Amino acid sequence: MIDHRSAYGLVTDFDPFRRIEADTLALADAAEGHLTAAVPSCPGWSVADLVWHLLEVQHFWGEIVTGRVQDPATVPEAVRPAEARLIPELRTGVARLVTTLRGAEPAEPVYSWAARRDAGFVVRHQVQEAAVHRWDAEHAIGRESSLDAAAATDAVEEFLEISTPFRADGAAAVGGRLELVAVDTGIRWVAGEDGHGTARWERLAAGAHPAAQEADAVLRASASDLLLYLYRRRSAGALEVTGDVPVAERFALRTGTD
């Protein structure tokens, strides 16, 4: 039996392939009968647009890993299907993606937009892609749900590692250090910026204090809500923040998200 945690560099124990498939299928279920509904967390999108986005993303990364592609320009563009075919093609497409990802060694080199360029990156990132967009779809139809705690915990760290290094153009300096506490899984991180606006973060051992100084703000929430906060689906004001609340608000705004 494969040790997914060590093979893919996960923070927690979970099966990433099962999560990709389960969350994608849950999105498809939520979309049934609601394709024209607006998606508040993705302004300007309908649920049909959301389904197409994930279908297109999974097609692209499936092609990258299938062909061990190094140049993304060589991947054929997916063609948006008729509306009646969107959900069935998402369901068949995720099964194809998972089969492809399972068949690739994590260290096999492939193109990615991140510093890590291997099939393991694709697997790890597609977990949160499916999870966050599942939440988008369910939120759009008035169904409040939580993301899987173990997968969300890993996704928080992957976000800190991969998505936050550089401040987006126009974003304000964070102006302090932020501690993130996943109250359900017990994992904690502290993050801030250096003088050049580059994010610096570390995972804290149980009971440890931040290495350099106390955090200026502490945000405590479920792992699901922490990830949704990083993706701007939950505001800092809607969560439990102690200390300098604007630090938490600015940290969420420093990184562009889909």
d(CA 258, CA 7): 27
Contact residues for 92 (Cβ-Cβ < 8 A; gap 6+)? none
- Residue 207, pLDDT score: 63
- Residue 38, pLDDT score: 98
- Residue 132 pLDDT exceeds 70: yes
Nearest to 132, CA basis, from 120, 122, 146:
146
Q: How far is CA 127 from the centre of its chain?
A: 7
Percent above pLDDT 70 for the chain:
96
* pTM of the entire predicted model: 0.93
d(CA 55, CA 59): 6
- Residue 2, pLDDT score: 74
Average pLDDT over residues 53-66: 97
- Residue 93, pLDDT score: 97
Range with lowest mean pLDDT among 18-22, 104-108, 165-169, 210-214: 210-214
Name the more confident of 214 and 228: 228
3-state DSSP call for residue 55?
helix
For residues 44 and 78, the answer to whether their CB atoms sit within 8 Å is: no
Assigned token pair, 118 = 């291997």
- Residue 224 pLDDT exceeds 60: yes
- Residue 205 pLDDT exceeds 50: yes
pLDDT tens profile 1-59:
578 998 888 999 999 999 999 999 999 999 999 999 999 999 999 999 999 999 999 99
The helix or strand, by DSSP H or E, that contains position 224, with its residue range, turns out to be helix 223-230
- Residue 212 pLDDT exceeds 60: no
Total residue count of the chain as it appears in this document: 258
- Residue 197, pLDDT score: 81
- Residue 90 pLDDT exceeds 50: yes
The helix or strand, by DSSP H or E, that contains position 157, with its residue range, turns out to be helix 149-158
